[in-house]
Amino acid sequence: MQRRVARWRRIGLAGPVNRLIESSRELAAALRDLRFSAPVTHVYLPLDYARRAHEHYLERYGKGRKRVLLLGMNPGPFGMAQTGVPFGEVAAVKEWLRIEEPVDRPAVEHPKRPVEGFACARSEVSGRRLWGLFAEKFGTPEAFFAGHFVHNFCPLVWMGASGANLTPDKLPSGEMAPVEEACLVHLTDMIRVLRPEFLVGVGGFAEVRLTRAAEAAGSKAKVGRVLHPSPASPAANRGWAAAATRQLVDLGAWDGR
């Protein structure tokens, strides 16, 4: 860790937010050249082609210690895959988070899953639900991010020949091993920098990774989860915001008011 801090200082990236930025760049470098077998036909890495928006998010909202770190699994095709922001539903990122940056395109793009950046007209339901809850409860992003941060464990998007989204838990464990290793290092860095009291997985996959990273970071934070806001979840479709609020209150991360 001391060697890493010394390197950040040499290249002008000392300080908590800049440590997050450098760690995200190292994660992108570790994942960039990985290859995956069928059924994967296309892989997107928003940390490359949407890096300006991603680093804007880190710079603007990653400052200071965070009481609660919420973690998702990986980008959705109409969320972070378009904007570079975790759960990055376009309207929420532009209108509430007030982030809008030029977005490039993946080197090899699936014809059914074009990257249109902030011009994308499709809505990511999970992101709309997640940021909508935080906007309703906290009002402004500044009030929310004063004690919270939202991130994804893995920044890769995998697609099959049809353009269908393939989630990390459905891919071969052998091919996922280097992905898991690199993403765990990045998450451990984030926990050390943000020093949260609560680590909240948005779904069970993220909760397991938070438990592993907390142990690696030597963190005593309380680990829990909230229901994933995906429209594929019948429980989420019956009132995700109320369910997630109850879970955060029960965990002790929110006060219930």
How far apart, in whole angstroms, are the C-alpha atoms of residue 72 and residue 27? 16
Classify domain 2-251 by CATH number. 3.40.470.10
Is 10 a residue whose pLDDT tops 70? no
Going from N- to C-terminal start, the domains of the chain cover 2-251
For 211-233, the pLDDT digits (tens) are: 999 999 999 999 999 999 999 99
pTM, rounded to two decimals: 0.93
**Would you say residue 6 has pLDDT above 60?**
no
Residue 143 is predicted with a pLDDT of: 98
What is the rounded distance in angstroms from the CA atom of residue 225 to the CA atom of residue 222? 10
Q: What is the pLDDT of residue 137?
A: 97
CB neighbour list of residue 39: distance below 8 Å, 6 or more residues apart: 160, 161, 166
Would you say 168 and 197 are in contact if contact means Cβ atoms under 8 Å apart?
no
Instruction: Give CA–CA dist 178/156, Å, rounded.
Output: 12
What average pLDDT does the chain have?
A: 93
d(CA 9, CA 15): 8
pLDDT confidence of residue 11: 36
- 3-class SS letters over 181-232: HHHHHHHHHHHHHHCCCEEEEECHHHHHHHHHHHHHHCCCCEEEEECCCCCC
The per-residue pLDDT for range 14-69, each reduced to its tens digit, is: 578 899 999 999 999 999 999 999 999 999 999 999 999 999 999 999 999 999 99
Angle at CA of residue 127, ends 122 and 133, nearest 5°: 130
